[in-house]
Amino acid sequence: MAVIFALSQRSSVPTLGIGRGPVSSAGHFVFYGVLATLLWRGLPPRRFSGRVRLGAAFVITVLFGASDEFHQSFVPGREVSAVDLAVDASGAAVALGLVARGARRGRAAEQLRSSGVAPADAQEALGATEAAGAPSPRARGR
């Protein structure tokens, strides 16, 4: 959060010679995606369910993005941008989507390990359960 705040205090941001728009949007997307992921990691899993952690991380990230845009309204040469806030929310959503997907895959792999299925047999076991009409660990995690 401190890095984002420090960058938003500057009257201008680095453009890398390709224009402010693409660099600004990419920066917003990446920084807010990382922020959302770190917030998700910081919420204790024993206290909050996976969905609550994902939702809280997203809401906190978007609220911080809104406060950052408000803060920029006081910086000479900067302005409030709804597009920047939308890119912030998009970066957070994509990052948290990847986090959720990784968590589902981790749970499915853990179920296979705890059932005694060897890693080489994992795909075969998944295919056998799907062929038998039983939901696979992948389908149950969704």
pLDDT in tens, 15-26: 555 555 566 788
Higher per-residue pLDDT: 137 or 113: 113
In the chain, domain spans:
2-117
Q: How confident is the model at residue 80 (pLDDT cuts 50, 70, 90)?
A: confident
For position 22, what pLDDT does the model report?
63
Q: CA geometry: angle at 59 spanning 12 and 13, to 5°?
A: 5
Mean pLDDT of 1-15: 60
For position 142, what pLDDT does the model report?
47
Q: How confident is the model at residue 64 (pLDDT cuts 50, 70, 90)?
A: very high
pTM of the model: 0.64
Higher per-residue pLDDT: 98 or 9: 98
Q: How many CB atoms lie within 10 A of CB 37?
A: 18
Rounded CA-CA distance 14/24 in Å is 9
Burial code (b: 16+ CB inside 10 Å, e: under 16) for 43-75 equals: eeeeeeeeeebbeebbebbbebbeebbeebeee
Reply yes or no on whether the pLDDT at 9 is more than 70.
no
Reply yes or no on whether the pLDDT at 55 is more than 90.
yes
